[in-house]
Amino acid sequence: MRERTMALAGVFQATELVRQAANHGTWSGYAASSCLGSLFKLEADTTEDIFGGISKMRLGTETMLAVLQGDNRYAETLAYAVGLLQIEKKFRRADKIQQEVGRHLETISRIGPDLAQQEREDLQAHDISVLYSNTISKLSPRIVVNGRPQYLKNERTVDWVRTLLLAGLRSAILWNQLGGGRFELMFGRKNLIREAESLLMN
């Protein structure tokens, strides 16, 4: 249950960061780095390892908890999360897209090992943005990100929005692999809330 809760928190961390970026042009750097890193950790032993530790998932866990408790301030974040959970089902059946995404992420993970962290991550985000446009954006339902035009026209912001959406999809896939599904979201809410509260105490 703990692993599933962390995977779902990963979805909400990514989508809350998308909301921040689209509406404010800024986003939490440590949380975004965790999302980006999760795309390159396909052989990790635990869900915690995928995200780099529980502390790196605080934003996602807090957001998920607020959503589960009915906080309407996160309606946009929730809409993006629901969209990713729907796309995940299509992605599972799209073998060619899966292969293309996996192959390119392996290459992107090797970008700029000697660069400063932000410069390296921005370069990786740019290539992931192109990858997202060529693959995931072709799956339905296509996620339409709402926000302020001045931010959605900024190339760096758009690169990170698409990168975060792909990271959210990766978490949605993990959620499914760990046994998460619509039934648990509908009827297991109390258990998810309890696990989220436990994670925030660490």
Q: What does the alpha-carbon distance between residue 162 and residue 168 come to, in Å, rounded to a whole number?
A: 10
2-200 architecture in CATH? Orthogonal Bundle (1.10)
179 has pLDDT over 80:
yes
Q: Which residue type occupies 1?
A: M
8-state DSSP, 73: G
At 10, the pLDDT band (50, 70, 90 cuts) reads very high
Domain ranges of the chain: 2-200
Please give the C-alpha separations between residue 150 and each of 23, 28, 61, 84, 158, in angstroms, as whole numbers. Answer: 9, 19, 29, 25, 11
pLDDT single digits (tens) 73-108: 999 999 999 999 999 999 999 999 999 999 999 999
Q: What does the alpha-carbon distance between residue 161 and residue 69 come to, in Å, rounded to a whole number?
A: 26
184 has pLDDT over 90:
no
**Helix/strand/coil for 148:** coil
